[in-house]
Amino acid sequence: MAISVSKMQASFNVIEKVIFGGTFDPVHNGHLISAQELARKMAYQSVTLMPCGQAYHKTGSSTAQHRLNMLNLAVAQSTVLDVDEQEVLRDGATYTVDTLRHLRQELGEHAHITWVMGTDSAQSIVHWHQWRQIFTLANVIVIARSGESELDLSHWPAKLVNEVETFKQSPHGCYCQLALTPISLSSSEVRKAIKNHQPVDNHVPQAVIEYIEQHGLYRGLD
């Protein structure tokens, strides 16, 4: 499907595309608040949440369609966050490198494309399919979660750039680490709370809670 360009920013005539990938099973306030804070700190006009296709590395997960529906509900009122469905719609295994190739082809060689990941992903990226190619297609921002310190990423085939405007002018090949306000919350905790019939009102948007209840997710009903 065509990528939405409605929230892309043209700053210094450079198209920006910032993608926060994840399983989002389900999306929670930690994802949403962090993505918004990232946009604010980096002065990005928008951040795109991209749910992975098959959550093949996680067991007992919801279908991609449910995860996508919940994300769409979560960002419905947002002027900063949007959702890209391309990994969900693609058949078979979804690799970040393929997604980035697609985006690069669509947005052109000068576009600033940045993939956002947590420190957990940054530590395991060397095991991703064609991981070195990622840096020929995009920049990477590593966001630190609660209690996490900066990683030594000097083995990455990318340049460390800490100055925001310089970073934002790079089409690909740069990385930086960004500390965000710690929000101690995970999808696993949300799933566990729902399974145990505990309230999750402070952790998940109301529209998502209603969707979960309507479809009986995370209670062993689906």
Q: Which residues bind ligand ATP (CB under 6 A)?
A: 22-25, 30-31, 34, 117-118, 120-121, 143, 145, 183, 185-188
Tell the smallest beta-carbon distance from residue 61 to ligand ATP (Å).
8
The nearer residue to ligand ATP, 121 or 169, going by C-beta atoms, is: 121
d(CA 209, CA 129): 34
Residue 107 contacts residue 137 (beta carbons within 8 Å): no
Alpha helices in 10-130 (DSSP H): 29-42, 64-75, 86-89, 96-107, 119-124
The least CB distance from residue 95 to ligand ATP, in Å, is 16
| Residue 88 or 185 having the CB closest to ligand ATP | 185
* Cβ at position 210, least distance to ligand ATP in Å: 20
Q: Are 143 and 34 within 8 A, CB to CB? A: yes
Which one, 110 or 129, has the nearer CB to ligand ATP? 129
Instruction: Give residue 67's identity as a one-letter amino acid code.
Output: R
HSE-CB for 62 with a 13 A CA cutoff: 25
Distances (CA, A) of 215 to 48, 218, 219, 220: 25, 9, 10, 11
Cα 59–chain centre separation: 20
* Nearest to ligand ATP of 23, 136 (CB atom): 23
Nearest-approach distance from CB 62 to ligand ATP, in angstroms? 11
Beta carbon of residue 38, minimum distance to ligand ATP (angstroms, whole number): 9
Residue nearest to ligand ATP (CB): 118
Q: Which is nearer to ligand ATP, 120 or 210 (CB)?
A: 120
Nearest approach, Cβ of residue 169 and ligand ATP (Å): 24
Q: In the complex with ligand ATP, which residue's Cβ is closer, 15 or 193?
A: 193
Phi, psi dihedrals of residue 52, rounded to the nearest 5°: -70, 160
Query: Closest by alpha carbon to 150, among 189, 183, 112, 123?
Result: 123
